[in-house]
A and B are shown apart, each in its own frame.
Chain A
Amino acid sequence: MRHSSAGPTRREFLKTSAVATGGLVIAFHVPGAKRLAIAGMAPADTFAPNAFLRIGTDDTITVLLAHSEMGQGIWTSLPMLIAEELECDWGQIRVEHAPAAPAYAHTAFGIQATGGSTTTWSEFDRYRQAGALARAMLVAAAAEKFGVSPSECRALNGVVVAGDKRATFGELAKAAAALEAPGSVPLKDPEDWTVIGTPRKRLDTPEKITGQAQFGIDVQFDGLLTAVVAHAPTFGGTVRSFDATEALAVPGVRQVVQVPSGVAVVADHFWAATTGRNALKVEWAPGPAAGVDTDALRAEYLELAGTPGATADETGNVAEALATASKTIEGQFSVPYLAHAPMEPLNCTVRIGPDGCEIWTGTQFQTVDQGAAAAILGLAPEQVTLHTTFLGGGFGRRANPANDFVAEAVHVAKAAGAPVKTVWTRENDTRGGYYRPAFVHRARLGLGADGGIIAWDHVAVGQSIVTGTLFEGMIGENGIDPNSVEGLIDSPYLTGVPNRRIGLHTPAPGVPVLWWRSVGHTHTAFVVESMVDEAAHAAGRDPVDYRRTLLADHPRQLGVLELAAEKAKWGSPLPAGQARGVAIHESFGSFVAEVAEVSVEDDRIRVHRVVCAVDCGVAVNPATIAVQLQGAVAFGLSAALHSSISLKEGRVQESNFHDYQVLRLSEMPAVETYIVPSKAPPGGIGEPGTPPIAPAVANAVFALTGQRLRDLPLKLTLQG
């Protein structure tokens, strides 16, 4: 179905389609010197020793990122890995996102993706090796030029020196490009590192403080139209019929086209598109989730939590141990659906040409999106050129196995027969699903005579993130989605309990769900650390001291606990009306302890200060780590204090930042970060700071008020 108020601009855009390839010129060897070429030729006079690096005769060093910069700082930390081995001049480094291509596949996942706090550790060897390989070739070229052996040459600050002879990398680039690349090169001893472990300022600051940084929503070229799509009011709903008359009457609206996800108003600019979308009349057929009511769903989940569910883990005899325990404690917990709400609403620009398609978008899932676009258009993946722009936040939302915003934009451009930037309004974004799933947990703990935990009976209820996606293979025995129980089945508190059972119910109410910064840990850490805190109080023990006992055999958890407690001066007096709470959690290969200092004014919880201790193995850029902990605390506090997505009759009730509230500046606590010195392999850092903050705050609220809050967002019951 297609209505047109103005001639489509297919011919116009075909004329301009050659322009877009001009900006991207890549050719490279993969390490091992197997030559690949993508999307063009290497610029003349460029030494491109591998997929991640180009050295120009003008001495510029261009680092290509296999991952997406979405605020986490890899625009700086991945170049640091290369610079450590390359011995280049830091000031000469330029950074670009790599194109979507197999050479940039994630070293652990096999797809090109950014997520799971994996970028640093998954690239730790590959990017250092890329730098080392290039250095070896530059040194070889210099040795030849100087007539000395390579062992007499030394590379430093972008120059190769041998005695009184010197040549810059740029001067050597041409000669190095003619050499055969060695297979691999020994990497530096960590004792000799001069870049890794030193704080480096962000390389993307200049363009981000002048408005020059290009995000997906900023893509522009002649003939590009803008679309806003009317989505079904209930998930899975479909178009029954629509009347585009009034939409087409809006000046600037060009076309109204139906796509699988709804009805798109295609216009000269966003304002016309959104005005047209508001004037559109659509009859919707309800989707399978049309009956969902989150209050009813929570009640249903609470009921399910009273039944065993599929067994995720079982040891000893939990029923018997509970029956003989000196004390039992019990709690039921709930967390709502959450939208990621990145500041840049979802968007994607698509230009379809006679032989292929070009896409510009901020995505965390390059090759997956590329494949989806290719499938829609009947193309081979390599016929889809995907340009990654800066991402105005991701948090998991831009890593969607269902490719929603990319697939939709491809459908719109295809139906419109024109290049189109499809932009989601904030309302589309808030109501568009792919939420952190709502969960309910029920836990019963039995304490022994000494206060130790002898039994832990736990049932979790919530949707699977991976069911029905290309990640379905993650689902293990008994239908357990590891995303639902991570941070629970592997919690050192639980694995230390001799009698335990963890059950899981995986209902499927049809609300689209997705990974949201720290995924399952967002709720499991809240529940586990709240219950451990309750156990400490039930045992009459100090919360830090009690955890110290439970974690005695877990040196990295213990290390962050001790450091955070020391830096927060745990046990020292606070101003009147304030109390501390603590939580520790391991996720994504790193360990974080947080101590929150909290007060309560009327029914408002105020977090004044958060002391974080982190053990993330080798700290590549300590500056990034401190910033990521601040950000993780802010993100987690939004969920702890404010955010919630609710549905009635299948309709999402929230729509924008007035009713889907997030943390604002006046509520931001002072966050201090202390890094445990470590030579262990690097862990993740984007997510691990998020899980501990909600329980640390809830535990502080308990210490202050005696109220044990077990539902997020935390709501105090007013007393007196």
Chain B
Amino acid sequence: MRLTINGTAHDVDAAPDMPLLWVLRDLLGMTGTKYGCGMALCGACTVHIDGEAKRSCTTKASSAEGKQITTIEGLSDDGSHPVQQAWAELDVVQCGYCQSGQIMAAAALVASDPTPDDAAIDQAMNGLICRCGTYERIRAAVKRAAELGGR
């Protein structure tokens, strides 16, 4: 199948039911997208498909053919996406494992809602688990990213 990831076309030899997560990580070596649960319960695997936040662990890679897939590696060339800037400014990360997913979910949110309020943040971000407890800074950084101009 042919997948367009971060603007580049990749031909991959994968079973049609193989989740996008494992195509990214194990076939293409793009390990920024993380495995946490395999059941769309934790959000660590969040990527964008045509701009929408999707859980790549339960998304069949074949269903993303012909669509624009964006991963943490492609969010910006240099960590300069407003969400990444806000994350750096507010020192959000701790262990960092969930943060690729958090950042991708936040980026999709601020792209669709330039002034997300707490309810919108709860709605978009509640599906993403952080065991270090960075939630307060995530909430603040989403708001800061919106101030910085979303995308």
Q: Indicate if the CB atoms of A209 and B31 lie closer than 8 Å.
A: no
| One of B27, B75, B97 near A392 (C-beta < 8 A) | B97
| One of A211, A220, A656 near B41 (C-beta < 8 A) | A656
Q: How far is the CB of A624 from chain B (nearest CB, A)?
A: 9
Q: Indicate if the CB atoms of B29 and A662 lie closer than 8 Å.
A: no
A170 to B138, CA, bound (A): 39
The SS class assigned to the A binding surface is loop
Tell me if B34 is interfacial: C-beta within 8 Å of chain A.
yes
Q: Indicate if the CB atoms of A213 and B96 lie closer than 8 Å.
A: yes
| One of B42, B103, B132 near A209 (C-beta < 8 A) | B103
Contact partners of A426 in chain B: CB under 8 A? 36-39, 42
A668 to B137, CA, bound (A): 11
Instruction: Please report which residues of chain B, range 132-146, place their CB below 8 angstroms from some CB of chain A when the two chains form the complex.
Output: 132-139
Q: Indicate if the CB atoms of B93 and A202 lie closer than 8 Å.
A: yes
Q: Indicate if the CB atoms of B98 and A343 lie closer than 8 Å.
A: yes
The SS class assigned to the B binding surface is loop
Looking at the complex, which of A127-135, A449-457, A550-558, A629-637 is the stretch in contact with chain B?
A629-637
Contact partners of B131 in chain A: CB under 8 A? 341-343, 393, 395, 634-635, 638, 662
Q: Indicate if the CB atoms of A201 and B91 lie closer than 8 Å.
A: yes
Q: Indicate if the CB atoms of B136 and A668 lie closer than 8 Å.
A: yes
Contact partners of A343 in chain B: CB under 8 A? 34, 36, 42, 44, 95, 97-98, 129-131
A218 to B103, CA, bound (A): 18
Tell me if B69 is interfacial: C-beta within 8 Å of chain A.
no
A663 to B133, CA, bound (A): 8
Q: Please, which residue of chain A has its CB at the minimum distance from the CB of B132?
A: A71
Q: Indicate if the CB atoms of A205 and B91 lie closer than 8 Å.
A: yes
Contact partners of A207 in chain B: CB under 8 A? 96
- Most A CB within 10 A of own CB, among B32, B128, B139: B32
Q: How far is the CB of B85 from chain A (nearest CB, A)?
A: 9
A245 to B97, CA, bound (A): 36
Q: Indicate if the CB atoms of A666 and B91 lie closer than 8 Å.
A: no
Contact partners of B44 in chain A: CB under 8 A? 343
Tell me if B66 is interfacial: C-beta within 8 Å of chain A.
no
| One of B30, B34, B125, B126 near A344 (C-beta < 8 A) | B34
Tell me if A425 is interfacial: C-beta within 8 Å of chain B.
yes
Tell me if B94 is interfacial: C-beta within 8 Å of chain A.
yes
Q: Indicate if the CB atoms of A206 and B34 lie closer than 8 Å.
A: no
Q: Indicate if the CB atoms of B132 and A631 lie closer than 8 Å.
A: yes
Q: Indicate if the CB atoms of A205 and B87 lie closer than 8 Å.
A: yes
Tell me if B25 is interfacial: C-beta within 8 Å of chain A.
yes
With A343-B98, A635-B133 known as contacts, the answer to whether A211 contacts B18 (CB < 8 A) is no
Contact partners of B129 in chain A: CB under 8 A? 343, 657, 662, 664
Tell me if B11 is interfacial: C-beta within 8 Å of chain A.
no
Q: How far is the CB of B135 from chain A (nearest CB, A)?
A: 4
Digitize B80-100: 1 where CB-to-A-CB distance is under 8 Å, 0 elsewhere.
000010011001111111111
Tell me if B108 is interfacial: C-beta within 8 Å of chain A.
no
Tell me if B19 is interfacial: C-beta within 8 Å of chain A.
yes
Q: Indicate if the CB atoms of B36 and A345 lie closer than 8 Å.
A: yes
Q: How far is the CB of A350 from chain B (nearest CB, A)?
A: 17
A317 to B15, CA, bound (A): 73
A342 to B36, CA, bound (A): 9
With A623-B91, A631-B133, A663-B133 known as contacts, the answer to whether A345 contacts B35 (CB < 8 A) is yes
Q: How far is the CB of A78 from chain B (nearest CB, A)?
A: 16
| One of A212, A274, A666, A668 near B133 (C-beta < 8 A) | A668
Q: How far is the CB of B15 from chain A (nearest CB, A)?
A: 6
15 new A-B contacts at CB < 8 Å, known A211-B33, A662-B131: A71-B94, A201-B91, A205-B88, A205-B91, A209-B99, A268-B26, A271-B22, A343-B34, A393-B97, A423-B35, A631-B133, A664-B126, A664-B135, A665-B121, A665-B126
20 contacts between A and B (CB under 8 A): A204-B93, A205-B87, A205-B88, A208-B96, A210-B75, A211-B73, A213-B96, A217-B35, A343-B129, A390-B96, A394-B95, A426-B38, A426-B39, A631-B133, A656-B39, A657-B37, A662-B131, A664-B129, A665-B126, A668-B139
Using a CB–CB cutoff of 8 Å, the interface residues on chain A facing chain B are: 69-73, 201-202, 204-215, 217-218, 220, 226, 251, 268-271, 274, 341-345, 390-395, 423, 425-426, 623, 627, 630-635, 638, 656-658, 662-666, 668, 670-671
Per CB-CB distance, the 4 closest pairs between chain A and chain B, nearest first, are: A211-B32, A634-B133, A392-B97, A71-B95
